Amino acid sequence: MSFDPSKIDEFLANFDAKKQHIRNFEGCEFLELYRDKKKTNVFFTYSFWSSEADLENYRQSELFKTVWTETKVLFDAKPEAWSVDKVHSLN
């Protein structure tokens, strides 16, 4: 997600206020926020869901609608999202 630089603090405050609600949503097992080292207005969220159905339930929830409504007005470019399957995991 690429944000208008003047809106970064607002995004971070919104994320901080909602992150525990997202993490506690049924099926969410993991949630992290990353920031690009060079393009500091670019952020990535990484979450792991128990099932595709749990993720879809979140996407249809009032929580997601609220988060998305507050977030999308802060972008300075079209956001991108991916759903992926884990191929390998090394610990």
pLDDT tens by residue, the chain, 91 residues: 999 999 999 999 999 999 999 999 999 999 999 999 999 999 999 999 999 999 999 999 999 999 999 999 999 999 999 998 889 989 8
**Where are any strands of DSSP class E within the chain?**
28-35, 43-49
Alpha carbon distance 41, 45 (integer Å): 13
How many CB atoms neighbour CB 44 within 10 A?
A: 12
Please name each of the domains of the chain with its CATH number: 5-72 (3.30.70.100)
